[in-house]
Amino acid sequence: MPRKRIYEIIEKSSHKDKLSTAYDLFMIVVIVLSLVPLAFKEDYPVFTIVDKAAMYIFIADYILRWITADYKFKQPFVRSFIKYPFTLMAIVDLVSILPSLNIVSNGFKILRVLRMIRALRVLRVFKTMRYSKTFEIIGNVLRSSKKSLIAVCALAAGYIMVSALVVFNVEPDSFETFFDAIYWATVSLTTVGYGDIYPVSTLGRVITMISSIFGIAIVALPAGIITAGYMTELEKSQITKMDDNPSIEQDTETPC
């Protein structure tokens, strides 16, 4: 089979390409089955078989995407071959394969949890469904609001550090380590309030109240940024749709 056709099957899924759609659905089934053993503490023999089968399928999928990367990047084969392993999804694919290899899993069994990252591949199936436009809009919102979101995250991190430092020095008896203070500050910022660690003095409680109040404002900022960006992207999408289909605008006009 030509490499271009392989690329179309594994990467360029469309409604008209039934083989590509079937491949996407097959991969989703394999991904879901490979995640099932994580829901059990015991290692049943059938789980070992499923894990090994999924590993070989993932390796084959990784190799096929690697050798057809030049069609994806529209660059010479050698350059694409070198570039592909350093892309985000290629790293996700590789990390999801490593926990299943005996040489790795025997020494680092905790890495088996990284198989859950493979669930990110589930998003690929949405490009064959009607909701793909929505996910594209959300991606555009995150990209366009990246600087604002990073600024909010930096503000939250700074606020957590300052709150932790203050309460750690105000109530040294309530917090054994500085990490405990950071944990308390994070819980207070998000207004979760587990109650496992808390200040007991009057000043410490006042700091907690202030931290919680400001935490509500900081937590609300990302929601407002994403909502505003989402509405903007929806308007752009509507304008683009009208430009591509002038008849839509004509149909929406009220007749005199």
The DSSP call for residue 36 is: G
Decide: 93 and 115 in contact? Cβ < 8 Å: no
Q: For residue 32, report the phi and psi dihedrals to the nearest 5 degrees.
A: -65, -45
DSSP for 81-96 reads: HHHGGGSHHHHHHHHH
Residue ranges of the domains in the chain? 3-129, 144-252
* Residue in the structure block whose two tokens are 């919680």: 212
pLDDT at residue 86, as a whole number: 92
pLDDT at 64: 92
Its CATH architecture, for the domain 144-252, is Orthogonal Bundle (1.10)
Q: Judge contact between 229 and 141, C-beta under 8 A.
A: yes
Instruction: Output the tens digit of pLDDT for each of the chain's 256 residues.
Output: 788 888 888 876 566 778 888 888 888 888 888 878 777 777 788 988 888 898 899 899 899 999 999 988 889 999 999 999 998 888 878 877 876 776 555 555 555 555 555 555 554 444 444 445 666 677 778 888 888 888 888 988 898 898 889 888 888 888 888 898 898 888 887 777 777 888 888 888 888 888 888 888 887 888 888 888 888 877 877 776 666 555 544 554 444 4
The CATH code for residues 3-129 is 1.20.120
Contacts of 38 (CB under 8 A, 6+ apart): 112, 113, 115, 116
